[in-house]
Amino acid sequence: MLTDAEIRKSVQELVAGSLPISSMWGLDNENFVPGETVVQYSGPTWTNEEIEAAIYAILRGKWLSSGENVARFEHAVSKELGRKHSVMCNSGSSANLLMLAALKSTHTYGFKDIEVITPVVCFPTTVAPILQCGFVPRFVDIEPATLNMDLDLFERAITEKTKAVMFSHVLGNPPDMDRVVKICTERNLLLLEDNCDALGSTWRGKPLGSFGLMSSHSFYPSHHITTGEGGLVSMDDDVLARVLRSI
User: How far is the C-alpha of 96 from the C-alpha of 217, rounded, in Å?
Assistant: 8
How many helices (H) does the chain have, and how many strands (E)?
8, 9
pLDDT at 183: 98
Identify the pLDDT of residue 28: 59
Return the closest-CA partner of residue 50 out of 241, 236, 226, 244. 226
To the nearest 10°, report the CA torsion of 115, 120, 123, 125: 20
- pLDDT confidence of residue 16: 72
The predicted structure's pLDDT at residue 18 = 66
Amino acid 147: pLDDT:
92
Q: What is the pLDDT of residue 176?
A: 97
What pTM does this model have? 0.86
β 202-203/206-207 pair status: antiparallel
DSSP state, 218?
Answer: E
DSSP E strand stretches across the chain: 85-89, 115-119, 136-140, 162-168, 190-194, 202-203, 206-207, 214-218, 231-235
DSSP line for 20-52: --S-TTS--TTT--TTTS---S------HHHHH
pLDDT in tens, the chain (247 residues): 778 788 777 777 777 766 555 545 555 556 778 888 777 766 666 777 887 888 877 777 677 677 888 999 999 999 999 999 999 999 999 999 999 999 999 999 999 999 999 999 988 999 999 999 999 999 999 999 999 999 999 999 999 999 999 999 988 899 999 999 999 999 999 999 999 999 999 999 999 999 999 999 999 877 888 888 899 999 999 999 999 999 9
Give pLDDT, residue 24. 52
Please tell me the predicted confidence (pLDDT) of residue 44. Answer: 62
Active-site positions read 223
- Direct distance between the N- and C-terminal alpha carbons of the chain, in angstroms, rounded to an integer: 39
What per-residue confidence (pLDDT) applies to 218?
95
Amino acid at 103: L
